[in-house]
Amino acid sequence: MTPAGQDQELLRRLLRAKDRMDAASHEAWPVRRLAGVSCVSPAHFARSFKDAFGVPPHRYLLTRRIERATALLRDTSLSITDIAFRTGWASLGTFGRTFRDITGESPGDFRAREQAAPHELEWVPACFVAAAKRPGLTTAVSEKRRREADARVTASESRSEEQEMS
């Protein structure tokens, strides 16, 4: 057994599914399809993938899509719409909202900033740069939005209390 508590054969199957997602992150990868690649049940696949790699399969796929989109925004002159569809998003709005939630800026702002900045990392191997710039998607996007909304409500309530006291 491995430190993750999984046998080597299961890990090989999970890696096979992960490799498929890496190779075709623009495609739809529902858990049922990934489980088929790994030859396990969907529920077992989802649990085992998270245990082995630390994130659920959908979050891993989002990370890959955003990573690819940032490279295309930085290195090409493709339109943001083309980039959204090439990286697997069904809608420009969903792409833009998710991109902003994960990176903290819109795709257009990201592109402008990256193209204006001097490229000091050109001598660094691309795999190292990609790993360093990989989005840290450890929290679900929906949970992140919920926390930000709660923080805004809390801030609004404290302002109201301060005004009542004065």
Backbone phi and psi for residue 148, each to the nearest 5 degrees, phi listed first: -65, -40
pLDDT at 136: 62
pLDDT in tens, 78-121: 999 999 999 999 999 999 999 999 899 999 999 998 888 766 66
pLDDT at 3: 46
Task: Return d(Cα 61, Cα 71) in angstroms, integer.
Answer: 16
Pick out the chain residues at pLDDT < 50: 1-4
pLDDT at 165: 67
pLDDT at 79: 95
